[in-house]
């Protein structure tokens, strides 16, 4: 009977009233609060990455930034810039037995094609220089003429040539040209003819004689008109046609490293060499620091400190720092156009440049010396050992993707001068 009464009481028990003010029941039990959404953690703003060294420093808008050389790290394909090109090179390295397996990893051999002086980097640099040079020379004629022939850099050789140019312009009802304008009009005319050789009748102003009074080294520019006048007296005069003729050399304009094979490169480069060697004396304006790619091409064939006496023959002087300053300018411009393909530091690129220059020079005049068993070593401007004219590392493919010979046999490397820093090498 008692058990039945307890059951009935349990079934009729009513819930306790809840206070709206305190949020508790009449029994004093707190009502559970709804769960709040978890707040996201603030992003980590202090992530740091390990670096090998600092390469350069730049301060802009009161903020200092550093160019850094990162420590190697394992990365997925999705985080690699220019992955398609890099991975293609990696697959080629594996196919050509340039890798080995270590602890399950495929590793590049220590003597590999991605060293700074390797044939892969040298060929890439030579192709880039040729491509950018041709791109520069094929710009719109009027635009290129404005870039090359600044009014302040040119004068008439004598007043009679100035009067002659004025008379010629009057016959054609054109405005009286400055000395630089004579060159601009003549250059545009030569481009329009689409020829490599020109007759006197082709060029209206071709016989007008002028003087180049500019400087390829900006630090040597005269500060006063009197000094400029004195400088002009030391400069030789040439006709407009003579100043422009090197720009229309078919050998120069058709430069294409893809045609340079192991057994033919010397023929291509020896044909280019005399044309390039004309530039310091017949077209010195092309070697201005503002014209990077003509200067870069020239530096592959001629040492910087050999350019100095060449331009002195036409009254042009360069400062002692010109070789180093221009070399730095060339390296940074190369990295700029190679962004996304070549992400190395500038000193690594400089080593590639030195190897590329030595390669070109060897094919031009070192090949016969080495075949005859002799070797020539130059010294740089500081008296330090320069690069011996030795057979280079570069091997050009012969069209089927295979080398034209084995490095161990046909291309045995000669004596190498130890580098004591890139700055001490002839540029």
Residues 270 and 402 in one domain: yes
Q: Residue 178 pLDDT more than 80?
A: yes
Q: Answer yes or no: is 170 within a domain.
A: yes
Whether residues 355 and 388 share a domain: the answer is yes
Q: Within this chain, do residues 241 and 205 fall inside the same structural domain, yes or no?
A: yes
Position 380 in a domain: yes
Q: Which pLDDT band, with edges at 50, 70 and 90, does 66 fall under?
A: confident
The mean per-residue pLDDT over the stretch 384-388 comes to 42
Q: Is residue 79 included in any domain, yes or no?
A: no
Q: Is the pTM higher than 0.75? A: no
Q: Examine the domain organization and report whether 265 and 396 are in the same domain.
A: yes
Whether 185 is in a domain gets the answer: yes
pLDDT in tens, 191-230: 999 888 888 888 989 999 999 999 999 888 876 777 777 7
Give domain status of residue 188, yes or no.
yes
Q: Look at residues 193, 214, 248 and tell me which one is the last residue of a structural domain.
A: 248
Q: Which residue has the higher pLDDT, 11 or 168?
A: 168
Least confident of 106-115, 354-363, 372-381, 414-423: 414-423
CA 321, CA 330: separation in Å to the nearest integer?
14
Among the listed ranges 69-73, 118-122, 391-395, which one has the minimum average pLDDT value?
391-395
Q: State the Cα–Cα distance between residues 427 and 91, nearest whole angstrom.
A: 34
Same domain, 375 and 231: no
**Quick one: what percent of the chain has pLDDT higher than 70?**
73
Residues 287 and 377 in one domain: yes
The pLDDT, as a whole number, for residue 25 is 53
- Rounded average pLDDT over 30-51: 64
- If pLDDT is split at 50, 70 and 90, which confidence band does 32 have? low
Same domain, 235 and 279: no
- Domain check: are 277 and 240 in the same one? no
Q: Does 352 reside within a domain?
A: yes
pLDDT digits (tens, 9 = 90+) for 132-146: 999 999 999 999 999
| Residue at a domain's end among 248, 282, 317 | 248
Provide the CB-side half-sphere exposure for 233 (13 A, CA): 5
> Based on the domain organization, do 382 and 279 belong to the same domain?
yes
Phi, psi for 378 (deg, rounded to 5): -100, 165
Look up the domain containing 179 and give its range: 149-248
Which pLDDT score, from 0 to 100, does residue 1 have? 47
Asked if residue 242 and residue 300 are part of one domain, the reply reads no
Residues 198 and 228 in one domain: yes
Q: Please report which helix (H) or strand (E) contains residue 168, including its range.
A: helix 159-171
Q: Are 363 and 270 in contact (CB under 8 A)?
A: yes
Tell me how crowded residue 293 is: count the other CB atoms within 10 A of its CB: 22
Which has more confidence, 309 or 229? Answer: 309
Q: Please, what is the average pLDDT of the chain?
A: 78
In a domain, 316, yes or no: yes
The domain tally of the chain equals 2
Residue 309 to residue 233: CA distance in whole angstroms: 19
Which of 219, 248, 277 corresponds to the end of one domain?
Answer: 248
Is residue 90 one of the residues assigned to a domain?
no
* pLDDT reported for residue 286: 96
Q: Is pLDDT at 381 greater than 60 in this prediction?
A: no
**166 and 302 together in one domain:** no
pLDDT, position 201: 83
Residues of the chain with pLDDT > 90, as a percent, come to: 43
């Amino acid at each position: 009977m008692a058990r039945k009464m307890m059951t009935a009481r349990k079934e009729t028990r009513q819930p306790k009233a809840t206070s709206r003010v305190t949020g508790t029941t009449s029994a004093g039990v707190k009502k559970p609060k709804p769960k709040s959404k978890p707040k996201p953690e603030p992003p980590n703003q202090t992530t740091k990455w390990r670096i090998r060294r600092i390469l350069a420093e730049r301060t802009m808008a009161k903020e200092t930034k550093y160019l850094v050389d990162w420590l190697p790290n394992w990365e997925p394909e999705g985080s690699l810039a220019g992955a398609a090109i890099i991975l293609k090179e990696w697959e080629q390295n594996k196919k050509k037995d340039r890798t080995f397996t270590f602890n399950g990893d495929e590793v590049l051999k220590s003597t590999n094609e991605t060293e700074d002086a390797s044939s892969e980097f040298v060929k890439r640099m030579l192709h880039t220089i040729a491509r950018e040079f041709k791109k520069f020379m094929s710009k719109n004629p009027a635009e290129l003429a404005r870039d090359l022939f600044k009014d302040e850099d040119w004068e008439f050789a004598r007043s009679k040539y100035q009067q002659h140019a004025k008379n010629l312009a009057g016959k054609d009802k054109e405005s009286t040209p400055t000395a630089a304008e004579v060159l601009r009009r003549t250059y545009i005319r030569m481009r329009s003819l689409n020829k490599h050789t020109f007759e006197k009748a082709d060029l209206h102003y071709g016989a007008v004689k002028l003087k180049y009074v500019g400087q390829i080294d900006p630090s040597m520019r005269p500060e006063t008109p009197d000094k400029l006048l004195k400088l002009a007296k030391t400069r030789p005069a040439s006709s407009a046609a003579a100043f422009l003729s090197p720009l229309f050399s078919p050998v120069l304009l058709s430069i294409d490293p893809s045609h340079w094979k192991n057994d033919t490169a010397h023929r291509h480069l020896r044909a280019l060499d005399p044309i390039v060697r004309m530039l310091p004396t017949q077209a010195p304006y092309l070697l201005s620091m503002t014209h990077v790619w003509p200067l870069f091409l020239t530096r592959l064939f001629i040492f910087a400190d050999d350019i100095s006496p060449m331009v002195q023959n036409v009254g042009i002087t360069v400062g002692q720092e010109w070789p180093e300053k221009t070399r730095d300018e060339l390296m940074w411009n190369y990295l700029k156009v190679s962004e996304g393909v070549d992400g190395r530091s500038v000193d690594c690129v400089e080593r590639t440049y030195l190897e590329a220059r030595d390669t070109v020079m060897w094919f031009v005049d070192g090949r016969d010396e080495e075949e005859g068993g002799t070797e020539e070593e130059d010294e740089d401007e500081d008296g330090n050992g320069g690069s011996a004219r030795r057979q280079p590392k570069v091997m050009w493919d012969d069209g089927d993707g295979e080398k034209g010979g084995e490095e161990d046999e046909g291309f045995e490397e000669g004596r190498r001068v130890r580098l004591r820093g890139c700055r001490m090498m002839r540029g």
